[in-house]
Amino acid sequence: MHVVVNAATSADGKLSSRRREQIAISGPEDFERVDALRADCDAVMVGVGTVFADDPHLTLDDPDRVADRENGGEPPHPARVVADSRARTPPDARVLDDAATTYLLVGEAAPRERVGALKDAGARVVVAGAERTDLEGALAELESRDIERLMVEGGGELIFSLLEAGLVDELSVFVGPKVIGGREAPTLADGEGFVEGFPELSLEGVERLDEGVLLRWRV
Ligand SMILES: NC(=O)C1=CN([C@@H]2O[C@H](COP(=O)(O)OP(=O)(O)OC[C@H]3O[C@@H](n4cnc5c(N)ncnc54)[C@H](OP(=O)(O)O)[C@@H]3O)[C@@H](O)[C@H]2O)C=CC1
Ligand SMILES: Nc1nc(O)c(N)c(N[C@@H]2O[C@H](COP(=O)(O)O)[C@@H](O)[C@H]2O)n1
């Protein structure tokens, strides 16, 4: 599987404010690029923290891209994936509507009644790991279900875990013209943070977009 992490940060590296509300950091050119990147992937993934914060839909905006995928024999939208160890995704979350297939990656300890309710809401449940979702195992299971190219949109907890597990191939970051600040505000990679063995990045592209810059790294 090829894993691409894509996110937008403020100039000071924040994904959002301390209120964890969705903030439009990207401008129209970058949102257009993100839509194209989604269309080029088999699935789009977020952590359950992003589901709580943003209630994202994770589908394609451009009907031409939907048509192109269908003409190529693909589903109209990429699948949606939520890392959700304890099956806390609200059954009425937008990612669970019938626009696309949605996988929830849960741990074995996830409460059965919540897992059942989410299956009833249309989710396909992948169990990997005892308590917290084992991302390596879960991604291997997704690969066996024909997900070869996975885009990860965030947030910071999930991105850190994927980097820590060595599962990220590419990192694209749009750095936008805002300062958000705040020690509690989420950053691109949160979690415990690294103290050694820092992932090494190789710069593949720098491009001016909107009033910011797109940085593309190979991990
Ligand atoms: N600017 C941007 O591009 C983006 C911004 N955001 C912003 O980011 C914020 C949300 O980020 P954040 O709070 O970090 O939440 P995340 O979306 O990263 O979700 C984190 C949650 O995912 C669950 N999870 C399951 N398995 C794992 C694992 N192995 N490793 C890590 N997490 C796992 C955990 O809960 P549990 O274990 O209980 O399942 C964890 O609390 C919001 O403010 C949102 O607006 C989000 C995406 C993009
Ligand atoms: N690329 C990007 N730029 C921003 O400025 C953002 N705030 C985000 N947020 C991500 O987009 C998701 C929303 O998806 P839908 O429009 O609902 O499909 C949100 O959940 C974040 O993952 N991304």
Q: Residues of the chain with pLDDT > 90: what percent?
A: 100
Contact 187 CB / ligand 1 (< 6 Å): no
Q: Does the structure's ipTM exceed the value 0.95? A: yes
**Tokens of residue 14, six digits:** 């924040």
Which pLDDT value is given to residue 20? 95
Contact 157 CB / ligand 1 (< 6 Å): yes
Q: How far apart are CA 30 and CA 46, in angstroms?
A: 18
Q: What is the pLDDT of residues 94-108, one digit of tens each?
A: 999 999 999 999 999
Which pLDDT value is given to residue 179? 98
Q: How far is the CA of 132 from the centre of ligand 1 (A)?
A: 13
Contact between 101 and 75 under an 8 Å Cβ cutoff? The reply is: yes
Residues of the chain with pLDDT under 70: none
Which pLDDT value is given to residue 165? 98
Which pLDDT value is given to residue 122? 96
How many other C-beta atoms are found inside a 10 Å radius of the C-beta of residue 213?
Answer: 16
Domains of the chain (ranges plus CATH)? Answer: 2-218 (3.40.430.10)
Its pTM stands at 0.97
Which pLDDT value is given to residue 123? 98
Tell me phi and psi for residue 36, to 5 degrees: -65, -40
Query: How would you class 193 by CB atoms within 10 Å of its CB: exposed for 0-12, middle for 13-18, buried for 19 or more?
Result: exposed
Which pLDDT value is given to residue 193? 97
Contact between 127 and 106 under an 8 Å Cβ cutoff? The reply is: yes
Closest residue to atom 17 of ligand 2, CA basis: 56
